[in-house]
Every structure is written in C-alpha cells, then in structure tokens.
C-alpha cells in the first residue's frame, strides 16, 4: 500500500494551453518553456503543440544542478561576431563544409548520432537540439562508464538526505539538494562517439518526476536527468582539419553553435528507517 505519492505531472484540462498551465502553476506565463513532455523534452513553442485533455505534462522541480557558463553557452567558448572576421569565399566555404561532412574521423563514430548534429550546425539552426529519453545518444550516455561513475555518486546523496528527513519525520522531496559532479568523455574506444558529440558537459539538471513511499517504507524516486552540452568549436578545439573548418564557418556566421540537451530517465530506490516510537501515518500527497 502506498503511503506517500508526490507526482510532478499535471493532467491537462480542456482549454488548457502551455501558457495557461504556467500561469496557474507558477504565476508566470513565460515558464511554459520549462514544462516537459512524457519523454523529457521541452515543447518547442507555446502554440506548436495542441494539448489534449487528459494528457500529462511534467512541471519542473529541480533537485540538483550543475550550472553552465554564463557566457558563450551555445556559441562556442570564444564567440566572435561575424563582423570581426573577413568573409569566406563561396568555394572555401564549400571546402570547409566538405571537411566537416567527410572527415575520416567520422567513419569511426556512430553516424546516426553525429550526422544530424553536423547538419544542424552547418544549417545554422542554433537553439536547442533535444535528445529524448531512450534516444540513441541518451542510451549511449547512460551506458557509458563516466556517466555511471557520477550516477553512483548521486545515489547515496539522495538516499542519505531522504533518511535524514525520515529521522525527523518530515519527508519533503522538493527540499532535496543534489550536487552533480563534472564529467567528460575522453577519446577512448568505448567513448569515441560521446567524445565527438559531447566531450565535456557544460551543465546538468536533476528534475524530480515522481516519488512514492509505501507502508513498508520502501521508496522509488524518478528523475529526468538533463545534460547540457555546447556543440560549438572554440579556439582550443582546432586540432584537426574538420574542427579548424568548423571554427571558421561558425565564427564567420555560416554555421551556428547550439545546445545539445540529452535527457535520461533514472530511478533511485531504497528503504527508510523510522523510529517506532515516533512513527506516524503520512497522509497521501497527490500533486
């Protein structure tokens, strides 16, 4: 039997829009950008998706974060205005694009993952490129050793904080504060695609999705783990012809850096210990 349920989902009502939900829940219509879909992705625009009555969307409750840099994010770490550099000739621009598309190094990484990112970059689309839960890149990250090492550092943080709350009989999952260590993918055999597409992360969020605690004190906590990566080329990255070409195209405005947003769905389980003399019956909580 379930004792506590805390669910960050919101059930769409007839006539709801993303902006009206944001106004209702956050008293700020602009917060619609933070609302997530079932697969963890954001909505592209407030009017691009017709909400259906009964549909569930997820409200952002952040229990952990690693802040990204405040400058250069989504631009490359040494962004210059295109006006600061001389323009490329049409021929040289095509040569640089060919260097990027047909670099020999591309042959040893997963093309299904890398190719769409290269095209997004070369087409100058910018913005955010989302990789939903269970997408090829999300699965690759989740199976990687660097990610697992960080995840195994986060699990005990959550477990210890929940037990401390149980010790004072005040379970409040919204009060969890998780520290997310930095991690990066190096050019080893196992992580070559991750090195090419991500390298080192620029930021991360842990967003609470759902928490349940049953009468045996067993709990399950579900989160969206969101990783942010700046897919752009800085001056220190120009160590291959294709990266040199990418830097020139990007900094002359013929290509545009963007933010990779990689979303994972992760679960933490455990059992809480309550002192018998102070144990109380928790009322079921439904968000």
Domain assignment present for residue 221? The answer is yes
Tens of pLDDT, residues 14-63: 989 999 999 999 999 989 988 999 999 998 887 656 788 999 999 989 99
Residue 193 — pLDDT band, cuts 50, 70, 90?
very high
**How far is Cα 66 from Cα 254, in angstroms, rounded to an integer?**
31
Tally of domains in the chain: 1
Domain assignment present for residue 4? The answer is no
Domain assignment present for residue 157? The answer is yes
Domain assignment present for residue 133? The answer is yes
Backbone angles phi, psi at 252, to 5 degrees: -110, 10
- Residue 167's CB is within 10 A of a number of other CB atoms, namely 13
pTM: 0.86
> Domain limits at 66?
59-271
Q: With 60 as the cut, is the pLDDT of residue 255 above it?
A: yes
Pair 196, 105: CB distance under 8 Å: yes
| Residue 76 CB partners (closer than 8 Å, separation 6+) | 230, 232, 233, 234, 247, 250, 251, 257
Domain assignment present for residue 49? The answer is no
Domain assignment present for residue 52? The answer is no
Give the pairing type, strands 62-66 and 218-231.
Answer: unpaired
Domain assignment present for residue 210? The answer is yes
Domain assignment present for residue 214? The answer is yes
């Amino acid at each position: 039997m379930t004792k506590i349920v805390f669910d960050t989902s919101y059930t769409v009502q007839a006539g709801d829009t993303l902006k009206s939900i944001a106004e209702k829940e956050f008293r700020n219509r602009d917060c619609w950008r933070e609302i997530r879909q079932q697969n963890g992705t954001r909505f592209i625009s407030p009017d691009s998706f017709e909400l259906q009555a009964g549909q569930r969307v997820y409200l952002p409750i952040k229990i952990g974060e690693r802040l990204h840099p405040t400058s250069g994010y989504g631009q490359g770490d040494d962004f210059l205005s295109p006006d600061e550099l001389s323009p490329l000739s049409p021929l040289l621009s095509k040569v640089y694009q060919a260097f990027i598309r047909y670099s020999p190094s591309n042959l040893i990484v997963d093309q299904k993952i890398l190719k769409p990112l290269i095209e997004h970059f070369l087409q100058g689309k910018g913005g955010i490129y989302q990789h939903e839960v269970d997408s090829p890149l999300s699965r690759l990250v989740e199976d990687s050793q660097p990610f697992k090492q960080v995840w195994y550092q986060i699990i005990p943080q959550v477990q210890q904080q929940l037990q401390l709350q149980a010790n004072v009989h005040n379970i409040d999952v919204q009060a969890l504060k998780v520290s997310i260590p930095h991690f990066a993918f190096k050019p080893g055999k196992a992580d070559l695609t991750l090195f090419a597409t991500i390298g080192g992360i620029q930021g991360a969020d842990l967003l609470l999705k759902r928490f349940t605690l049953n009468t045996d004190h067993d709990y399950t906590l579900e989160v969206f783990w969101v990783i942010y990566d700046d897919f752009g080329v800085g001056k220190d990255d120009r160590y291959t012809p294709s990266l040199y070409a990418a830097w020139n195209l990007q900094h002359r405005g013929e290509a545009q850096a963007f933010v990779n947003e990689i979303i994972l769905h992760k679960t933490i389980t455990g059992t809480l210990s309550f002192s018998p003399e102070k144990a109380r019956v928790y009322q079921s909580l439904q968000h």
